[in-house]
Chain A
Amino acid sequence: MVTSVTSLGRNGLYDWLIQRVSAVVIAVYVIGMVGFLVCSGDLDYRAWSAFMGSAPMRIANTLMVFSVAAHTWIGLWGVTTDYLTGMTFGKAATSVRLIAQMVIALLLLVYILWGLLMIWGGA
């Protein structure tokens, strides 16, 4: 048993499940969005704004933002714990890994807040 305080759910099964569920959300969103863009023909600002401003799309966009953030965190957490280790960085590994993980976490938090602001901010 290996405990880790920086993995998303501190549990392998939880992270694995979130990774899969978020992948499905991202896939459905991308397919739906491509379908909309293909079917909508000449798209002007008014139609685009109405589409993205509708309640279902706001919910879908919010789900997408959280899914991308969770998916990215789990994936990059795996990358940092694979490659930023004592094998590559020696004694400095823990500091390097922690800094990299914190930078990624902060960027993802900014991304989530910025996304929510765009979706729900009414601008």
Chain B
Amino acid sequence: MKVSIYRYNPDTDREPSMKEYEVDTQGKDLMVLDILALVKEQDESLAYRRSCREGVCGSDGMNINGKNGLACITPLSAVAPGVKEGKKPLVLRPLPGLPVIRDLVVDMGVFYQQYEKVQPYLQNESPAPAIERLQTPEDRAKLDGLYECILCACCSTSCPSFWWNPDKFLGPAALLQSYRFLADSRDEATEERLSRLDDPFSLFRCHGIMNCVSVCPKGLNPTRAIGHIRSMLLERGV
């Protein structure tokens, strides 16, 4: 099958280009990461991130035939009709909207700054109990669908509001994490958290187009979390 990969080395290339490779899958429905490994055997200079190779670490987020996803858990048959059969090329590009360091490796700095802005840790000034801060099973259940985020950046880098205003809009991943702590019964900083979100950009740049939901490799729903935060802001502000 044909594989087309975005190549860019800032030390030697004036501009990025797409490079074609021919890979023999022997008809198997390999994961995209396996294809990258086969390409790497042909061309050692190819750079990409990977670690756990099972959708847990979030290192190998990339744009696969136009849709962001994790290379390690995306089988060829799920990329697009005809890719596995070799009728269509597999096209790999770095996550959109982030500066490219080299080939498929992007600079995630902006993404992590957004994460930092939502203060993703429990804030509780009450004296700590002897053992631990307990939660009812119902309160714990409110964190399901929020805590599973692996920060792969597939969602945020598929969001146009993130592309245009990455310094002002927080992006779906950080907002999902923001709600993860707003929804936590043990967190006491609700007011401070909400008061940092009601400007025209941080949260309200979300126009609900749900690209984030359609690409999340963990099946999470940042748009719903953003909706919940909006409801909290509305309750507080009306």
Of the four ranges (under 10, 10 to 19, 20 to 34, 35 or more), the interface on chain A belongs to 20 to 34
**Chain B interface size, under 10 / 10 to 19 / 20 to 34 / 35 or more:** 20 to 34
The reply on B52 being an interface residue by CB < 8 A is no
B202 contacts A2, C-beta separation under 8 Å:
yes
Contact with B along A44-85 (1 / 0, CB 8 A): 000000000000000000000000000000000110011101
Q: Is A12 an interface residue (CB 8 A)?
A: yes
Q: Residue B22 at the A interface, CB < 8 A?
A: no
With contacts A82-B164, A87-B164 taken as known, whether A16 is within 8 angstroms of B204 at the C-beta atoms is yes
Query: Least Cβ distance of B196 to chain A in Å?
Result: 5
Q: A1-B196, A2-B202, A7-B200 are in contact. Are A16 and B230 (CB under 8 A)?
A: yes
Instruction: Check B202 against A1 for contact (C-beta < 8 Å).
Output: yes
| A17 contacts the other chain (CB 8 A) | yes
Pair B199/A11 contact, Cβ less than 8 Å: yes
Interface 1/0 per residue, A8-37 and B, CB below 8 Å:
001111111100000000000000000000
Q: How far is the CA of A2 from the CA of B165 in the complex (A)?
A: 11
Is the CB–CB distance between A15 and B204 below 8 Å? yes
Our pick among A11, A17, A77, A82 for the contact of B165 (Cβ within 8 Å) is A82
Say whether chain A's binding surface is mostly helix, strand, loop, or mixed. Answer: helix
Query: B234 contacts A17, CB within 8 Å?
Result: yes
| Interface flags, B160-174, vs A, CB<8A=1, else 0 | 110011001000000
Instruction: Specify the main secondary structure of chain B where it touches its partner.
Output: loop
B200 surroundings in chain A (CB, below 8 A): 2, 4, 7, 10-12, 15, 77
Known: A15-B204, A82-B164, A87-B164. Contact between A1 and B199, CB under 8 A? yes
A13→B164 contact, CB < 8 A: no
Taking Cβ atoms with an 8 Å cutoff, the residues of B that contact A are: 160-161, 164-165, 168, 195-205, 207, 230, 233-234, 237-238
- 6 A-B pairs besides A12-B199, A78-B207, A81-B201 with CB distance below 8 A are A1-B196, A4-B199, A4-B200, A13-B237, A15-B200, A83-B164
Residues on A facing B (Cβ under 8 Å): 1-4, 7, 10-17, 77-78, 81-83, 85, 87
